[in-house]
Structure 1
Amino acid sequence: MPNNYPRQPILLVDDEDSWLVSFKTTLRSKGIGNVVTENDSSKLLSLLDSQQFCAVAIDLMMPNFSGEELIPQIAARHPNIPILVISGLNQVKSAVNCMRLGAFDFIVKTEERDTLIAAVRHAIELFELRQENTSLRERFFKKELDHPEYFGNIITENKEMRSIFQYIEVIAETFRPVLITGESGVGKELVARAVHNASGRTGEFVALNIAGLDDNVVADTLFGHTKGAYTGATNARFGLVEKAKNGTLFLDEIGDLSSTSQTKLLRLLQEHEYLPLGSDMAKRSSARIVAATHQNLNELQECGQFRRDLFYRLRGHLLHIPPLRERREDIAPLITHFLQEAEISFEKKFSANAPELADYLSQYPFPGNIRELQNIILDCAGTCTDGIMDTARVQRLLTHSYDYQPESFETPLPDASVTFGATLPTLKEVRAALIDEALTRTNNNQSSAAQLVGVTRQAISKYVREK
C-alpha cells in the first residue's frame, strides 16, 4: 500500500511514547502509513475537531482523561469514526463497558501484532463503508455526475449504466478491490479504466488477461523474478504488480485462474505483499486490484473451481454490467460511434440512418454484445463500396456470416416448446444437440455459446475437444 494509506489518517493516543513509536512502525510495515500519534489525551477532542480521521485508537488508562471518559464524547461528536480501545490488561468488565459506551473494538497490547493490525484494518473498512453509505444517500436524487469526464469512453444512454457510474464515483477512492461481472463484450475493461480514472491514483492502469496462462506464466508476469530464478532468467525483472505501484492492476477473466495461482492472489489481497520468483523476501504492493469475469463465480465455487475466500476478497465492491440486449437504447449511439471509427479506418465517408439500423437490430440477441456490434458495423463498412450503410446490407451480413434468420433472428419452436418423437433421446444426446445448436448460432464462439445454454466456457471447450 502507499505511504498515504488510508486516505484519512489513523489517530493513535497513548501516554507511552515508546508504544506509540512501536505500533506506528508496525502499522507502516504492513502498509498502513498514514498515522498520527498523540501522547496527551487532553488534546484528543480538539485534534478530532480540526482534522478528519478514519479511526482513533486510545489507551484505556491515561493521565488527564481515561479512555472510558473519552469514548462517549468521541461517539457523540464524531459518530462515523470507529473507536479502538487499547489496554495493557485483559479486563473483561472494562471491555464490555467500553463497547456499551460506543467503542468499535477492545484490544490488548500484549496480543499478537497481527491481531492489532487486523483490528485497525477492520476499523478502516468500517469507516469507508460508512462514508460510502453517506455518499450514496447524498447522490440518490442527483441527476448529474460529479465527473462525467471519467466515463467519456463509455457510450451509453442506459439508466442502469448511469447508476453504475454514480456508484463508481462513490467507491473509486477506496483501496478495496472491485469485481466486475458481465458477459463477454460488454466493456468490462472500459469500466475498470473508469474506476482507475475516478480513483485519483497516481500510478498506472495495468491490465492482464488471465485466460490461457499457466501458473508459472501468471506468477512471473504478476510478481516478476530475481536473476537466476530459473534457467534463462539472466536478469531480474519486475512484474505487473510492481508496474502498477500506486495505480490499478486489472485482472481480466479471473475465473480462469488455477487453484495454485488463486492461493498466491489471495495472499496479495490479504497481506498486500508478494514473493517474486526466486526470492524469499516479500515485497509490499500498493496496487489496487480490479478483477473481471464473464463466468458465474458462484457456480465455480460450488464445483470447487474457485476459492470462496478469494471470491469474497475480490468483491470488495461488485459491479455487474448489463448485456447489450438489455440496453437497447445504446444501439443507435454505438452504431454512430462505430461508423465514425469505420470512416477513420477506411478513410471514407459512410451514409447511414443510425436509428433505422438500431430499430432493425433491436431484436438481435447480440451474444457477443458491444464487441459484436462493432464487428458487424466494421464488417459492413469493409464491403460497402458505395458508402451507403443500410438495413439490407446488415441483413445480408447477419444471414451469411452469423447464420441468423434475417426476419426474427430466432429459430421458432413448434407451439413454443420442444417436441420429441416416439423414442426419447438420452440426456447425452440432448446435451450434444443443444451445444451444437448454440455453437452454430454463435458462429462457434464458445464463450457466447456457453452463455446461451447456461454453462461455463470450460464445459463447452471440453465438449468440443471430446467430440
Structure 2
Amino acid sequence: MINQTQYPEFGVLLVDDEASFLRSLSITLERSGGITHIHRCNDSREVMGILECEHIGLVLLDLTMPHLSGQQLLELITEQHPDISVIIISGLNQIESAVKCLQQGAFDYFVKTSEEGRLIEGIKRAIRMQEMRRENLALGQRILNNSLESPHVFEPIISRSHQMRAVFQYLESVAPSNQPLLICGESGTGKELLAKAAHQLSKRSGPLVSVNVAGLDDNIFADTLFGHQRGAFTGAERSRAGLIEEAAGGTLFLDEIGDLSMASQVKLLRLLQEGEYYPLGSDRPKRIRARVIVATHQELQQRQADGSFRRDLYYRLCTHKIHIPPLRQRKDDLPLLLDHFLTQAAAEIGKPVPGYPPELPLLLSNYHFPGNIRELRALIFDAVTQHRSHLLSMEVFRQVIGQNIETKESTRGQPSESLATFNPEGPLPTLAQMDNLLVEEALKRADNNQSLAARLLGISQPALSKRLKKSRPGE
C-alpha cells in the first residue's frame, strides 16, 4: 500500500542509465522539493513495464540511453499512456532536440546543468498540472454519476441540500491533493467540519492540527507555527516544535485566515511558495510535511481591494476553494437539523426527546439565521433546557425569531432593505392589489398557516381573517 504521506499522491519515475545521477536527482527532489514518491529506473527496457504496474503520473526522462533512447520512450509513453506527463532532463543542450520533444508531447525540457531551483519549480509545475487534471476527471465523474465514494465521512454534516452535495463531491476530488484548500463561508456554517472531512478523505497518516489565527500578532504567529530553538528569545529555556512539525504527515488547519496581520501573511506566503520555514532562532530550514487548509468568514476579495490582504497570498491559497452556502439558502436542511439537535440536546441534558408543534419548522423557515447552524443549535438547546411538558414550547423561538420577522411599530413606515420593484413602463398597482399580493405571499411562506402569516405581516390573526374574507368573499 502506498504511504499516503508521500508527495505527490502519484509516483514520479526517474529514468537514466547513470545510477549516480538517479541517486543525486532523488536527493535533490526530496531535500529541495519535498518530492518523496519516487521510483528509479536505469534500464530503459523496463520503463513500460513499470508504467503498467505502478501508479505513475510523471516521468523524468533522459534522452541518450542504450537499448531504448529517450526519444523512443517518449513516443511510446505519449501513445500508450497519454495521461502521464513527461519531462526531458538531458545532457544535450540542443534547441532542435528540445523543440522536437515538445512537439512529441513532452511537458518540458531541461538540461542537466540547469539551475536547481528552476528545475525543481518546473517539476512542481508539472505535478500541479497533473493533480488538477486528475481532480477534474474525478470531479466530473462524481457529478455525472451524482455519487459520493465516502458518504460516511460526511455524516457529521447534517444536510440533504443539493448545494452541499456538490461541495462534498468537490471535496472528495481535491482531498488527496497536496495544494492548499480555502474554505469560505459565514460564521456558523461548519467550516471546521469540512476541514475535518477533507483530512479524513486524504487518508494522511499524520494528525489534523487546528489553530485559530485571529488576533495572533506576528511574533506569536511565527512561534506557534514554526516553533523555536532554545535561547531564541527571553524565556525560551528549551526548544519547542511548532504546529507545522506537529502536523507532519497530516493536515494543518488555519482558521480565520482573513484576520491575519500583513507581516504574518508574508511569512505564510513564503511557507507555501518555498515549502520550508525557519524555527525562531535557527538558521537551518525545515520542510513542511503537512497539507495546509485555511478558512475564513471574511470576503477576501474585498480585503484585497482595501489593501488588508495580499493578492499573491490569496491566489496561492485558492488553488482549491470551497464556499459553504449559509443556512438561509439551505432551508431544506432545517427539518433534519431540528431533529438532530433535539436528539443531541435531550441526550446531553438527560431528558426525553420532545415533540414540537407543527408550525415550528414554518417559523424557522421564515427566519434568515445570521448565526447560521450555530445559532439554530443554540436556540434548540435553550428551548430543550427550558421545556417542561411533552411538547416543546415555541416561546424561546418566538422571542428570538419573532422579533426579527414581525413588523415593529417603531419601524413601520420605514423603507425595507429590499424594496419591491415595478416595471416603469407598466401601470402602478393599486393599494388594494398590493394588499392582496402581500397577504398571498405571507400565506405562501407560512404554508397557509394563518397564525404565522399574520405574524409575518405584523398584524393580528383576526385582522388577517378579516382581510381574507374581503379578498375571498366566496370562500
TM range (shorter): 0.7 to 0.9
Matched, 1:158 2:161: yes
Following superposition, the deviation at residue 414 of structure 1 comes to 5.0
**In the alignment, structure 1 residue 247 sits paired with structure 2 residue 250:** yes
Greater shift in the superposed pair: 253-262 or 65-74: 65-74
Q: Are the structure 2 counterparts of residues 24 and 214 from structure 1 closer, same or farther at C-alpha, using a change threshold of 3 Å?
A: same
Contact 2:5 2:205 in 1 (8 A): no
Q: Describe the superposition over 1:181-233 as per-residue Cα deviations: whole angstroms up to 9, x where unpaired.
A: 01111000001100011110111111111111111111111111111111111
Per the alignment, residue 46 of structure 2 pairs with 43
Counterpart position of 1:273: 276
CA contact 2:257–2:296 (8 Å) conserved in 1: yes
RMSD (Å) for aligned C-alpha atoms = 2.2
Cα offset, 1:42, TM superposition: 2.3
Give the C-alpha shift of residue 281 in structure 1.
1.2
Map 1:203-352 → 2, pairs under 5 A = 203-352=206-355
Match of 2:189 in 1: 186
**Does the CA-based 8 Å contact 1:350-1:389 persist in structure 2?**
no
| Gaps in structure 2 of 5+ consecutive residues | 420-475
CA contact (8 A) 1:266 1:310 kept: yes
- The amino acid of 1:227's aligned partner reads R
Question: 1:54-65, aligned counterparts within 5 Å?
Answer: 54-65=57-68
What residue is the counterpart of 1:29 in the other structure?
Answer: 31
CA 418–8 in structure 1, closer or farther in 2 if over 3 Å, else same: closer
Determine if contact 2:59/2:84 at 8 Å carries over to the other structure.
yes
The residue that corresponds to 1:115 in the other structure is 118
How many Å apart are 1:34 and its aligned residue? 1.6
Shift of 1:407: 6.6
Is contact 1:3–1:32 with CA below 8 Å preserved after alignment?
Answer: no
**What does residue 70 of structure 2 align with?**
67
Measure the CA separation in 2 of the matches of 1:87 and 1:24: 16
1: CA distance between counterparts of 2:416 and 2:23? 73
Q: What is the aligned counterpart of 2:79 among 62, 76, 79?
A: 76
Q: Which amino acid aligns with 1:222?
A: L
- Partner of residue 439, structure 1: none
User: 1:415-459: CA deviations, max 9, x gaps?
Assistant: 65799xxxxxxxxxxxxxxxxxxxxxxxxxxxxxxxxxxxxxxxx
Contact 2:356–2:391 (Cα < 8 Å) also in 1: no
Cα distance in 1 for partners of 2:355, 2:406 equals 19
Please, what TM-score do these two structures have when normalized by structure 2?
A: 0.83
Distance in 2 of aligned mates of 1:142 and 1:361: 33
Counterparts of 1:3 and 1:387, CA distance in 2: 52
Distance 1:418 1:133 in 2: 39
Q: Partners in 1 of 2:416 and 2:153 — Cα distance?
A: 45
Q: Offset at 1:383?
A: 2.8
Q: How far, CA to CA, are the matches of 2:135 and 2:350 in structure 1?
A: 47
- Distance (whole Å) between structure 1 residues aligned to residue 185 and residue 6 of structure 2: 33
**AA of the residue aligned to 2:109:** F
Alpha carbons 1:405, 1:411 under 8 Å: kept: no
Matches within 5 A, 1:365-384: 365-384=368-387
Distance (Å, rounded) in 2 between the aligned partners of 1:144 and 1:107: 41
Q: Give the 3 Å change call, closer, same or farther, for CA 69–413 of structure 1 in structure 2.
A: farther
Structure 2: distance between partners of 1:395 and 1:381:
14
Give the CA deviation at 1:368. Answer: 0.8
**What is the CA–CA distance in structure 1 between the aligned matches of 2:259 and 2:278, rounded to whole Å?**
22
Residue 384 of structure 1: CA displacement? 2.4
The residue identity in structure 1 corresponding to 2:299 is N
Instruction: Give distance in 2, aligned partners of 1:150 and 1:187.
Output: 14
Contact 1:219/1:261, CA 8 A, preserved across alignment: yes
The range that moved more, 252-261 or 139-148, is 139-148
Which letter does structure 1 place at the counterpart of 2:13? L
Q: In structure 1, what is the Cα distance between the partners aligned to 2:260 and 2:417?
A: 38
Q: Which residue of 1 aligns with 2:138?
A: 135
3-state SS, counterpart of residue 57 of structure 1: strand
Taking structure 1 as the reference length, the TM-score comes to 0.84
Which residue matches 1:7? Answer: 9
Measured after TM superposition, the shift of residue 137 of structure 1 is: 2.5
Deviation at 1:391, TM superposition (A): 3.2
Alpha-carbon shift at residue 127 of structure 1 (Å): 1.6
Do the aligned residues in 1 keep the contact of 2:189 with 2:374 (CA within 8 Å)?
Answer: yes
Relative to structure 1, the CA distance from residue 18 to residue 355 in structure 2 (aligned partners, 3 Å threshold; closer, same or farther) is farther
Q: Closer, same or farther in 2 for the Cα pair 1:363/1:113, shift >3 Å?
A: same
Give the Å deviation of 1:320: 0.6
Corresponding letter in the other structure for 1:120: I
Counterpart-to-counterpart distance in 1, 2:71 and 2:287: 36
Distance 1:417 1:9 in 2: 56
1:361 corresponds to which residue? 364
Residues 115 and 33 of structure 1: CA distance in aligned 2, closer, same or farther (over 3 Å): same
Cα drift, residue 174 of structure 1:
1.4
Contact 2:229 2:238 in 1 (8 A): yes
Separation (CA, whole Å) in 2 of partners of 1:328 and 1:153? 18
Q: Does the aligned pair in 2 maintain the 1:172–1:198 contact within 8 Å?
A: yes
1:411 CA drift (Å) = 6.2
- Indicate which of 89, 101, 105 corresponds to 1:102: 105
1:378 to 1:48, Cα distance in 2 relative to 1, 3 A: same
